[in-house]
């Protein structure tokens, strides 16, 4: 929005009265190009043209601080169906209720939009799910070996335990195929694992280009990992979901039931396929939406202009 000439402010919900200077420092260090002011959420949001909630918690804050009359237009950028982050109970209900506040709902991809309509009965504007096609690209057209997995044990929706069980079975089927894990450091797998920890996007592109396949698991929206792997010529295996297929249209993506044995067998089939090199090249040649398209659609939805790429569900 700054690139489009808008003056922006980041409002931090500082519910525990933490040091605002610390929060400002974190934001400035990690987003050095951002010019936006950074302030605590005020008691009233008068004086702003538009406000965007970025999670169910901030949607409640926005609803509570909106003036009774006038005030900014309220928007809600929804990247996951967030009730799924919690067991059925108080937090689930509060997260679900945030979609009923009457805000302009902007769903990242058709999967989220479909779940919003099915579970809550609300319509949303669909923004295209983008991919970083500048960083992730094909650089290796020769031999590949091994598989890769993004480990995030603290987020249940990322399917860490499902991936661990599947890769343990995969190792028994292919003991010579190296298993690469990045993200969190893992323990207790009982099979050889090459750990990369947290690596840069450039290093991650190199890892995707070295490996044949990998698991790309996510249960609340399609994972960014899948399109990035495909752009680098790595053919991922994803947990199957009809809504996810609407987001990731690359025909070389492989879908399998969320079952460790089935995921392991599917991964085995990809690794041993005779046309692996050709498949890798086809995967990398497929065009996905870029984040620039997502940004343009977001800006259009926020300012009230329509683009031909915007849809609703």
Would you say residue 55 lies in a domain?
yes
pLDDT at 308: 38
> 158 with 280, same domain?
yes
Q: Is 210 helix (H, G, I), strand (E, B) or coil?
A: helix
pLDDT value, residue 307? 45
The answer to whether residues 160 and 232 belong to one domain is yes
Task: Look at residue 125 and give its three-state secondary structure.
Answer: strand
Q: Of the candidates 146, 141, 106, 154, which has an alpha carbon nearest to the alpha carbon of residue 301?
A: 106
Same domain, 178 and 216: yes
pLDDT value of position 127: 95
Question: What confidence tens digit (pLDDT) does each residue in 179-215 have?
Answer: 999 999 999 999 999 999 999 999 999 999 999 999 9
Contact 22, 12 (CB under 8 A): no
Count Cβ atoms below 10 Å from residue 192 Cβ, excluding itself. 9
Identify the pLDDT of residue 305: 55
Domain-embedded: residue 25: no
Q: Is residue 34 part of a domain?
A: no
- Tell me: do 107 and 187 sit in the same domain: no
Q: In terms of domains, do 278 and 152 share one?
A: yes
**DSSP notation for 58-104:** HHHHHHHHS-SSS-PEEEEEESS-GGGGS-TTHHHHHHHHGGGS--E
Residues 122 and 155 in one domain: no
Q: Are 296 and 240 part of one and the same domain?
A: no
Please tell me the predicted confidence (pLDDT) of residue 17. Answer: 73
Residues 184 and 279 in one domain: yes
**DSSP secondary structure, 7-21, as one string:** --EEEE--TT---HH
The confidence score (pLDDT) of residue 292 equals 92
Q: Which tokens in the block code for residue 93?
A: 């209900």
Same domain, 222 and 270: yes
Which has the closest alpha carbon to 110: 129, 136, 135, 82?
A: 129
| DSSP letters for 242-286 | HHHHHH---TT-EEE-S-HHHHHHHHHHHHH-TTHHHHHHHHHHS
CATH number of the domain where residue 211 is located: 3.40.50.2000
Whether 20 maps to a domain, the answer reads no
Q: Do residues 106 and 234 both lie within one domain? A: no
- Residues spanned by the domain of 63: 41-130+291-312
User: Does residue 123 form part of some domain?
Assistant: yes
2 part of a folded domain: no
295 and 274, same domain (yes or no): no
The CATH number for 67's domain is 3.40.50.11090
Strand, helix or coil for residue 118: helix
Give CA separation, 171 vs 155, 179, 191, in Å: 24, 8, 7
Does residue 197 form part of some domain?
yes
Sign of CA dihedral 296, 302, 304, 309: positive
Report the relative pairing of strands 73-78 and 104-108 from DSSP bridges.
parallel
Residues 233 and 255 in one domain: yes
pLDDT tens track for 89-102: 999 999 999 999 99
The parts of the chain modelled with pLDDT lower than 70 are 305-313
Q: Is 212 exposed, middle or buried (0-12, 13-18, 19+ CB in 10 A)?
A: buried
Domain count, the chain: 2
* Domain-located, residue 23: no
């Amino acid at each position: 929005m700054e690139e489009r000439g808008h003056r922006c402010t980041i409002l931090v919900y500082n519910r525990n009265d933490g040091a605002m200077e610390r929060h400002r420092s974190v934001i400035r260090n990690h987003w050095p190009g951002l010019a936006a002011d950074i302030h605590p959420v005020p008691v009233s949001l008068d004086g702003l043209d538009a406000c965007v909630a970025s999670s169910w918690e901030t949607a409640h804050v926005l609803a509570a601080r909106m003036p009774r009359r006038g005030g900014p237009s309220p928007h809600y950028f929804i990247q996951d169906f967030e009730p799924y982050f919690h067991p059925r109970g108080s937090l689930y209900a509060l997260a679900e209720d945030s979609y009923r506040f009457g805000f302009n709902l902007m769903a990242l991809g058709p999967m989220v939009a479909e779940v919003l309509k099915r579970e809550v009965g609300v319509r949303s504007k669909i923004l295209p799910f983008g991919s970083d096609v500048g960083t992730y690209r094909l650089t290796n057209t020769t031999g590949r070996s091994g598989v890769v997995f993004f480990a995030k044990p603290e987020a249940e929706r990322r399917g860490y335990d499902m991936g661990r069980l599947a890769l343990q079975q995969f190792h028994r089927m292919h003991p010579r195929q190296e298993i690469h894990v990045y993200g969190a450091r893992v323990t207790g797998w009982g099979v050889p694992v090459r750990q990369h920890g947290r690596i840069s996007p450039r290093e991650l592109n190199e890892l995707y280009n070295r490996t044949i396949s990998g698991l790309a698991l996510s249960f609340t929206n399609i994972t960014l990992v899948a399109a990035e792997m495909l752009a680098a010529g790595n053919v991922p295996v994803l947990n199957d979901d009809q809504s996810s297929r609407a987001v990731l249209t690359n025909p070389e993506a492989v879908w399998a039931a969320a079952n460790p044995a089935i995921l392991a067998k599917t991964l085995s089939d990809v690794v041993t396929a005779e046309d692996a090199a050709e498949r890798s090249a086809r995967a990398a040649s497929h065009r996905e939406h870029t984040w620039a398209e997502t940004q343009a659609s977001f800006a259009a939805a926020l300012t009230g202009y329509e683009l031909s790429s915007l849809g609703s569900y």
